[in-house]
Amino acid sequence: MTDEQKTIAFVVYPGLTPLDLVGPLQVLAALAQIDPTYRTVVVGAAKDTLDTDTPLRIAPSHTFDEVPSPFAVLVPGGAVPTLRAMADERLLAWLRTAAASAALLTSVCTGSLVLGAAGLLEGKRATTHWMFRDLLPGVGATPVAERWVADGRVITAAGVSAGIDLALHLVERLAGRQVATNVQFAIEYDPEPPQGALDWANQPYGDLKPLREHTLREGLAGNPALRDKLLAHT
């Protein structure tokens, strides 16, 4: 790392959804390859290997202590483990320290709830996974149904795959449109969802509701204060 480099820090914690992390990491690592002004790191409490919500295990490149002043932070989301991470004081303390100097505070999916638990969404317009959007007022944010939402230095993305769109937006902000287009070609991001665009008028809410209920029940078990706060507005 050189003195001039700006560090983009991707936060990891046990049980996260790896696509939330890896989509934007792949995009911003490509930016760092093109423009060495930037470097990407993956930060966690320790360098040990962690589980995810898939069979893949992952390990960070740096500890929180090694990256006290990142230029930008990205918090990925997940289900039960992410609600538990909302009470991880070590993680929240690092986010607050990082936020003291960071130019960009970003999240994917329910990662925004972790930013919120650290007190960083107070009064902000924000988004998260569509099934959990109604929890945002519980952390002081105004929910917005968009692919990503920028409110000052806080930029939050919708669920899981939205992190790729967020990251390409960040590349354009940081390095201009041509670099963003080059990165988009490098990851051949020309989506053709086989089932077409999501039909929001026909959300399979009934099929997915048990997942939401399980996530809230298990993720907030043992933390009634947080549960009451999050569910107060739903």
The residues assigned a catalytic role are: 109
Report CA 75 to chain centroid distance, whole Å: 3
Per CB under 8 A, the list member of 11, 16, 25, 117 interacting with a copy of itself is 25
Q: At what angle do helices 177-186 and 18-34 cross, to 10 degrees?
A: 120
The Cα 62–Cα 1 span in angstroms is 13
161 near a copy of itself (CB under 8 A): yes
59 near a copy of itself (CB under 8 A): yes
Cβ partners under 8 Å of residue 111, min gap 6 = 11, 20, 74, 75, 76, 77, 82, 128, 156
5 near a copy of itself (CB under 8 A): no
The Cα 118–Cα 81 span in angstroms is 16
Two structure tokens written together for 91: 């993680």
Residue 109 class from Cβ within 10 Å (0-12 exposed, 13-18 middle, 19+ buried)? buried
Query: Smaller CB distance to a copy of itself: residue 18 or 116?
Result: 18
21 near a copy of itself (CB under 8 A): yes
1 near a copy of itself (CB under 8 A): no
Query: Smaller CB distance to a copy of itself: residue 120 or 168?
Result: 168
The Cα 92–Cα 130 span in angstroms is 23
Per CB under 8 A, the list member of 31, 105, 162, 226 interacting with a copy of itself is 162
Select the span of 83-91, 136-144, 168-176, 220-228 touching a copy of itself (CB under 8 A): 168-176
Binding mask 122-151 for a copy of itself (x = CB under 8 A): -------xx----------------x----
Cβ partners under 8 Å of residue 176, min gap 6 = none
Point out which residues bind a copy of itself (CB under 8 A): 10, 17-19, 21-23, 25-26, 29, 40-42, 49, 53-62, 109, 129-130, 147, 158-162, 164-165, 168-169, 172, 177-178, 180-182, 184-195, 197-198, 203-204, 207-208, 211
